[in-house]
Amino acid sequence: MPPYLMWLLIGWGVLTGILIILLIYRGTLTMQEDDQLFLDESASQMAEQQRELMAKVNKINPLVKVLGATSGLVFLVIAGLFIYTGLSQVQ
């Protein structure tokens, strides 16, 4: 296995690990989310907590999309290089 392929695998593993951690964190945040309509002032504190949760989730979503796309792209590059090196060794 060429050394550049090993470095790509390590980089892909790190990216995917960070992506998984962010997905787990986003999942724990959305478990606390409630679909409620707050009509009175006594529930305003709960409404504020829900707005804060949604702000955190909305901040994480672009990172998850970018890391997911990057991880997928790096995986495709690794697969292409693996196939290319395998075919070049056969000839």
How confident is the model over 34-58, as pLDDT tens digits?
666 666 666 677 778 888 888 999 9
Query: In which domain, by residue range, is 74 found?
Result: 3-33+42-90
- Count structural domains, the chain: 1
Looking at per-residue pLDDT, the higher value among 43 and 78 belongs to 78
Summarised one tens digit per residue, pLDDT across range 22-34 is 999 999 888 876 6
Task: Check residue 36 and give its pLDDT.
Answer: 63
Task: Check residue 37 and give its pLDDT.
Answer: 60
Summarised one tens digit per residue, pLDDT across range 60-70 is 999 999 999 99
Which residues make Cβ contacts (< 8 Å) with residue 46, sequence separation at least 6? 34, 36, 38
Task: Check residue 38 and give its pLDDT.
Answer: 60
